[in-house]
């Protein structure tokens, strides 16, 4: 048991931290700050709260920053060896755990639980242990620790052994697999995952559905959830930030450029995703092609604006998926395009200002994941839409629990059904579209990131008894 007590009263642990570094040509380090729910959440508790964010160095720039002792107050970056990190992050978290919770394994994408997998699992344990030890060293007596996501499922159990005095929470930003699917994992690994999580005092999930799936897995494999409490916190969109950011000059510029790409008087079906298999971008394109095939009246009158930003490109399966998206978009353009109409406008270079521009001018937003923890695009579009936007939403996205009533719901596997839903969405009357958008925006902003974070913290420290 660690005898030292650190100074931090509130600790957050996640693989990706709030800042990353790049080495410039002149050798200097450039710091880039990220956004998201945790960043707003931590800023909500204020600079005097004694908060510390423990994260992993992710690239050469981050490692160099750690070596040079460069860092920000309130952030501790762990320099975990690159091979260990890659095994844990690419080999286990993003290949195995992500695939299980999103139920992505299907022939020919099959799980491979061989000796190499076991070697990577050992790295995953080492990587989790590095976090647990850093947290144990930094946390003050009785501090609250909020561990994030599938990268760090073993941390609560490990930390509990090192520091029984701490209040430990864990939050899952992904779905959780039902027992029939979760049992695909080798028995000892499935048990290690669940027992690791149950080392926490309290576990948070984005929706009731994922929380229930976790409980069902515990009942099936480890005899229940024991004393660990379970709560649901449906992260919402950050309305204040989005409304302000979406009206800055760079967004206005990109709106002008996008309007020119779409063409005068045409409707826009917009999607914005990281290119992950769970986002179902290929079936979205197939559904759009089906719409053009079945309903020729839409040809030349609609454009599918698809932003598919590369993600986790160290993994071949993610790279192949990006290539497939590009191939299919080009094929649809070849098949249906005319001299002055490009049916699919695909962009793969990440540009946040352009994403906001697309949200503002979208007539229809297509959000059709196979499975998704929440999906914030579905929540952000209605908040900043200029003239109202119809939302085509997968029933398998966590956001559907809150937005389903005012969206056009789709089964993400059903290409013809999705094509019909796109048609319905395109033909909603302007008044109906505006009404629905208003209700969607209200539901989407019910739990802003700062409140989402504070709710978890108070529930963990027992102040609300939850
Ligand atoms: C998505 C998921 C999160 C996850 C994150 C990691 O946003 O919803 O659950 O933590 O991806 O992304 P990264 O780029 O760090 O692999």
Asked, for residue 19, whether it belongs to a domain, the answer is yes
Distance CA 3, CA 24 (A): 41
298 contacts: CB under 8 Å, gap ≥ 6: 291, 292, 423, 426
Asked, for residue 169, whether it belongs to a domain, the answer is yes
Give the distance (Å) from ligand 1 centre to CA of residue 312. 9
Q: Are residues 264 and 405 in the same domain?
A: yes
User: Which atom in ligand 1 lies closest to the alpha carbon of residue 94?
Assistant: 16
Q: What is the DSSP letter of 92?
A: I
Distance CA 16, CA 98 (A): 16
At 464 the pLDDT is: 62
Q: Whose CA is nearest to atom 15 of ligand 1?
A: 16
Q: Are residues 297 and 312 in the same domain?
A: yes
Q: Are residues 351 and 403 in the same domain?
A: yes
Asked, for residue 3, whether it belongs to a domain, the answer is no
Omega of the bond leading into 108 within 30 degrees of 0 (cis)? yes
- Ranges assigned E (strand) in 290-440: 302-309, 344-347, 364-367, 390-394, 408-410
Q: Are residues 365 and 391 in the same domain?
A: yes
Give the distance (Å) from ligand 1 centre to CA of residue 66. 23
Give the distance (Å) from ligand 1 centre to CA of residue 313. 13
Among residues 221, 159, 234, 165, which one has the least CA distance to residue 194?
221
At residue 428, the 3 state secondary structure works out as: coil
User: Which atom in ligand 1 lies closest to the alpha carbon of residue 373?
Assistant: 8
Among residues 39, 53, 62, 41, which one has the least CA distance to residue 10?
53
- Asked whether 300 and 338 are in contact (CB, 8 A), the reply is yes
- Geometric angle at alpha carbon 276, from 215 and 392, rounded to 5°: 80
Q: Are residues 293 and 433 in the same domain?
A: yes
Give the distance (Å) from ligand 1 centre to CA of residue 54. 16
Q: Are residues 190 and 284 in the same domain?
A: no
Q: Using most ligand atoms within 8 A of CB, pick from 15, 374, 449 the residue to mutate for ligand 1.
A: 15
Reported ipTM:
0.95
Give the distance (Å) from ligand 1 centre to CA of residue 30. 23
At 43 the pLDDT is: 84
Write the burial class of residue 417 (CB in 10 Å: 0-12 exposed, 13-18 middle, 19+ buried). middle
Q: Are residues 203 and 254 in the same domain?
A: no
Asked, for residue 107, whether it belongs to a domain, the answer is yes
Side by side, the strands of the sheet bearing 267-274 are: 344-347, 302-309, 267-274, 364-367, 390-394, 408-410
Asked, for residue 420, whether it belongs to a domain, the answer is yes
- Ranges assigned E (strand) in 155-225: 167-171, 202-205
Distance CA 225, CA 56 (A): 29
Give the distance (Å) from ligand 1 centre to CA of residue 77. 18
Give the distance (Å) from ligand 1 centre to CA of residue 180. 24
User: Which atom in ligand 1 lies closest to the alpha carbon of residue 58?
Assistant: 15
431 contacts: CB under 8 Å, gap ≥ 6: none
The binding-site residues of ligand 1, defined as CB within 6 angstroms of any ligand atom, are 15-16, 149, 173-174, 311-312, 373
Distance CA 253, CA 106 (A): 43
Q: Domain span at residue 422?
A: 239-444
Q: Using most ligand atoms within 8 A of CB, pick from 12, 97, 309, 373 the residue to mutate for ligand 1.
A: 373
* pTM attached to this predicted model: 0.96
377 contacts: CB under 8 Å, gap ≥ 6: 271, 272, 273, 359, 365, 367
Write the burial class of residue 256 (CB in 10 Å: 0-12 exposed, 13-18 middle, 19+ buried). exposed
Q: Using most ligand atoms within 8 A of CB, pick from 149, 315, 374 the residue to mutate for ligand 1.
A: 149
Residue 48 CA: distances (Å) to CA of 10, 74, 85, 452: 11, 10, 32, 20
Give the distance (Å) from ligand 1 centre to CA of residue 15. 9
CATH number at residue 325: 3.40.50.2000
User: Which atom in ligand 1 lies closest to the alpha carbon of residue 89?
Assistant: 16
Distance CA 446, CA 466 (A): 19
Instruction: Give the count of domains, the chain.
Output: 2
Q: Using most ligand atoms within 8 A of CB, pick from 13, 14, 173 the residue to mutate for ligand 1.
A: 173
Asked, for residue 175, whether it belongs to a domain, the answer is yes
User: Which atom in ligand 1 lies closest to the alpha carbon of residue 172?
Assistant: 9
At 462 the pLDDT is: 84
pLDDT in tens, the chain (466 residues): 444 689 999 999 999 999 999 999 999 999 999 888 888 888 888 888 889 999 999 999 999 999 999 999 999 999 999 999 999 999 999 999 999 999 999 877 889 999 999 999 999 999 999 999 999 999 999 999 999 999 999 999 999 999 999 999 999 999 999 999 999 999 999 999 999 999 999 999 999 999 999 999 999 999 999 999 999 999 999 999 999 999 999 999 999 999 999 999 999 999 999 999 999 999 999 999 999 999 999 999 999 999 999 999 999 999 999 999 999 999 999 999 999 999 999 999 999 999 999 999 999 999 999 999 999 999 999 999 999 999 999 999 999 999 999 999 999 999 999 999 999 999 999 999 999 999 999 999 999 999 999 999 999 998 665 5
At residue 124, the 3 state secondary structure works out as: helix
Q: What DSSP string describes 215-250? A: HHHHHHHSSS-TT-EEEE------HHHHHHHTTSHH
Q: Are residues 333 and 304 in the same domain?
A: yes
Q: Are residues 47 and 177 in the same domain?
A: yes
246 contacts: CB under 8 Å, gap ≥ 6: 356, 359, 360, 384
Distance CA 400, CA 393 (A): 7
Q: Are residues 195 and 71 in the same domain?
A: yes
- What radius of gyration, in Å, describes the C-alpha atoms of the chain? 23
User: Which atom in ligand 1 lies closest to the alpha carbon of residue 174?
Assistant: 9
At 45 the pLDDT is: 86
Give the distance (Å) from ligand 1 centre to CA of residue 151. 9
Cα distance between the two ends of the chain:
29
Give the distance (Å) from ligand 1 centre to CA of residue 22. 20
Asked, for residue 156, whether it belongs to a domain, the answer is yes
Q: Are residues 167 and 51 in the same domain?
A: yes
- Ranges assigned E (strand) in 24-113: 29-33, 51-56, 75-78
Q: Whose CA is nearest to atom 6 of ligand 1?
A: 16
- Asked whether 52 and 13 are in contact (CB, 8 A), the reply is no
Asked, for residue 2, whether it belongs to a domain, the answer is no
Q: Are residues 145 and 272 in the same domain?
A: no
69 contacts: CB under 8 Å, gap ≥ 6: none
- Asked whether 359 and 272 are in contact (CB, 8 A), the reply is yes
- Asked whether 125 and 151 are in contact (CB, 8 A), the reply is no
User: Which atom in ligand 1 lies closest to the alpha carbon of residue 16?
Assistant: 15
Give the distance (Å) from ligand 1 centre to CA of residue 33. 16
Q: What is the DSSP letter of 269?
A: E
């Amino acid at each position: 048991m660690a005898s030292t007590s650190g100074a931090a009263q509130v600790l957050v642990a996640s693989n990706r931290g709030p800042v990353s570094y790049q080495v410039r040509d002149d050798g200097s380090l450039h710091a880039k700050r990220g956004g998201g729910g945790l960043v707003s959440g931590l800023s909500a508790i204020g600079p005097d709260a004694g908060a510390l964010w423990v994260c992993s160095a992710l690239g050469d720039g981050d490692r160099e920053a750690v070596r040079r002792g460069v860092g920000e107050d309130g952030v501790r970056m762990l320099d975990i060896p690159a091979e260990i990190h890659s095994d844990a992050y690419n080999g286990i978290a993003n290949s195995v755990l992500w695939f299980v919770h999103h139920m992505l394994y299907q022939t020919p994408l099959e799980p491979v639980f061989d000796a190499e997998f076991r070697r990577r699992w050992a790295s995953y344990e080492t990587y989790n242990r590095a976090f647990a030890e850093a947290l144990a060293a930094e946390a003050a007596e009785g501090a609250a620790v909020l561990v994030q996501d599938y990268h760090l499922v073993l941390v609560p159990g490990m930390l509990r052994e090192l520091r029984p005095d701490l209040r430990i929470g864990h939050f899952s930003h992904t779905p959780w697999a039902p027992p029939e699917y979760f049992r695909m994992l080798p028995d000892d690994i499935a048990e290690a995952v669940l027992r690791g999580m149950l080392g926490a005092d309290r576990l948070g999930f984005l929706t009731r559905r994922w929380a229930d799936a976790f409980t069902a897995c515990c009942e099936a494999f480890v005899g229940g959830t024991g004393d660990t409490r379970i709560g649901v916190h449906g992260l919402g969109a950050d309305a204040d930030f989005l409304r302000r950011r979406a009206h800055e000059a760079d967004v206005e510029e990109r709106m002008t450029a996008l309007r020119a790409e779409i063409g005068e008087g045409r409707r826009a079906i917009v999607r914005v995703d990281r290119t992950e298999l769970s986002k179902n971008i290929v079936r979205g394109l197939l559904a759009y092609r089906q719409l053009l095939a079945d309903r020729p009246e839409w040809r030349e009158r609609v454009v599918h604006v698809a932003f598919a930003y590369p993600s986790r490109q160290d993994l071949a399966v993610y790279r192949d998926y990006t290539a497939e998206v590009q191939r299919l978009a080009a094929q649809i353009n070849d098949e249906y395009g005319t001299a002055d109409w490009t049916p699919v406008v695909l962009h793969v270079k990440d540009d946040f200002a352009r994403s906001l521009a697309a949200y503002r001018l979208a007539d229809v937003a297509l959000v059709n994941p196979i499975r998704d923890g929440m999906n914030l695009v579905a929540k952000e579009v209605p908040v900043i839409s200029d003239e109202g936007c119809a939302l085509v939403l997968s029933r398998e996205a966590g956001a559907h629990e809150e937005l389903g009533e005012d969206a056009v719901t789709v089964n993400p596997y059903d290409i013809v059904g999705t094509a019909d839903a796109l048609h319905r969405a395109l033909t909603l009357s302007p008044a109906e579209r505006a009404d629905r958008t208003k209700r969607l925006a209200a539901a989407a902003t019910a739990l802003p990131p700062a409140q989402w974070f504070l709710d978890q913290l108070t529930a963990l420290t027992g102040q609300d008894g939850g």
